[in-house]
């Protein structure tokens, strides 16, 4: 039929006839529909559907002031018991009574601050450890090396508990006599060096006026960053006050003129 040489009795070629028919006839589209069930399926589906209120009933309910957002059909309620709450944290059940916990507070909260306090604490620790009555840190017995590791540990623990400062394992190992403990505590803790230590600056060098004997050397004390910020805020506040006063006076003088 697509050949243009075939001539029909009407005198038109087949290709011309096909094109004319396509212009006259509307387009056809392929489409599908849902499967049609039988009558019983339709009745069963209608029965399972929830009844819908008519528009007149809905309008009357609205005019009567009924809350239509609450649909009580097929609603199950839960009892207000703890088991039915999801995500609720019971603080009273998990709170630990800290006042009943037996903490072993073996270290004093008061830090040793003077050499006299350190001498008293060291002599007490030594006498309690060895059962002696040494009365001065200049006694020769304090220069003797520890011969028993148990006694050394007991002495170091008493010294830490009474002084309020902890010893590292390294210092406990290298310090060999009671007087060496005394010198270390005097140099690191009583001098105030430990209070100036910062973990962010472990190798910082802290200079004091006592470190230099020359009269032409002056050591400028370190100013904490908190004090610097506080002073800066105070200066800025004073400048703002002065500027606002000047501006106010200028406005008043301009009004008078």
More confidently predicted of 4 and 49: 49
The helix/strand/coil state of 198 is: strand
Instruction: Please tell me the distance from the alpha carbon of residue 14 to that of residue 7, in angstroms, as a whole number.
Output: 7
Is the pLDDT reported for residue 26 higher than 70? no
Identify the band that residue 115 occupies on the pLDDT scale cut at 50, 70 and 90. Answer: confident
The sign of the torsion formed by the CA atoms of 92, 105, 169, 152 equals negative
17: confidence class by pLDDT, cuts 50, 70, 90: very low
pLDDT at 18 over 60: no
Percentage above 70 pLDDT, the chain: 72
Predicted confidence (pLDDT) per residue in 50-80, tens digit:
667 788 887 887 778 776 655 555 556 777 7
Q: Which residue has the higher pLDDT, 18 or 65?
A: 65
pLDDT tens column, 184-230: 998 888 888 777 777 677 777 777 777 788 888 888 877 878 889 99
- The position carrying tokens 């148990």 is 150
- Residue 208 pLDDT: 76
Better-predicted residue by pLDDT, 185 or 8: 185
- C-alpha span between 87 and 90 (Å, rounded): 10
> In this predicted structure, what is the pLDDT of residue 232?
95
Q: What is the dihedral of CA 94, 100, 104, 110, to 10 degrees?
A: 100
Residue 243 has pLDDT above 90, yes or no: yes
**Predicted confidence (pLDDT) per residue in 120-169, tens digit:** 989 988 898 888 888 888 888 888 899 889 999 999 999 999 888 888 89
User: Taking every pair of C-alpha atoms in the chain, what is the biggest distance, in angstroms?
Assistant: 146
Predicted pLDDT of residue 29: 56
The predicted structure's pLDDT at residue 2: 44
Task: Compute the distance between CA of residue 126 and CA of residue 123 in angstroms, rounded to an integer.
Answer: 5
Mean pLDDT value across the chain: 77
The whole-number pLDDT of residue 207 equals 76
Residue 111 has pLDDT above 80, yes or no: yes
Half-sphere exposure of 143 (CA within 13 A, CB side): 3
């Amino acid at each position: 039929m697509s050949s243009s040489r075939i001539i029909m009795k009407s005198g038109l070629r087949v290709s011309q006839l096909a094109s004319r028919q396509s212009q006259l006839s509307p387009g056809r589209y392929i489409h599908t529909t849902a499967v049609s069930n039988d009558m019983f399926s339709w009745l069963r589906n209608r029965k399972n559907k929830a009844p819908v209120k008519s528009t007149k009933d809905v309008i009357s309910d609205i005019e009567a002031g009924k809350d239509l957002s609450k649909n009580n059909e097929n609603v199950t309620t839960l009892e207000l018991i703890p088991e039915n709450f999801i995500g609720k944290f019971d603080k009273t059940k998990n709170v630990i009574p800290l006042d009943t916990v037996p903490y072993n507070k073996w270290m004093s909260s008061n830090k040793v601050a003077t050499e006299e306090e350190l001498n008293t604490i060291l002599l007490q620790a030594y006498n309690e450890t060895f059962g002696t009555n040494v009365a001065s840190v200049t006694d020769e017995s304090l220069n003797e090396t520890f011969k028993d590791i148990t006694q050394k540990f007991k002495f170091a623990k008493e010294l830490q508990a009474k002084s309020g400062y902890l010893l590292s394992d390294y210092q406990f190992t290298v310090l060999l006599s009671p007087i060496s403990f005394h010198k270390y505590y005097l140099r690191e803790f009583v001098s105030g060096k430990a209070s100036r230590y910062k973990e962010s600056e472990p190798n910082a060098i802290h200079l004091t006026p006592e470190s230099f004997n020359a009269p032409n050397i002056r050591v400028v004390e370190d100013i904490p960053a908190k004090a610097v910020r506080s002073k800066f805020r105070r200066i800025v506040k004073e400048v703002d006050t002065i500027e606002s006063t000047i501006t106010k006076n200028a406005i008043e003088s301009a009004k008078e003129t």
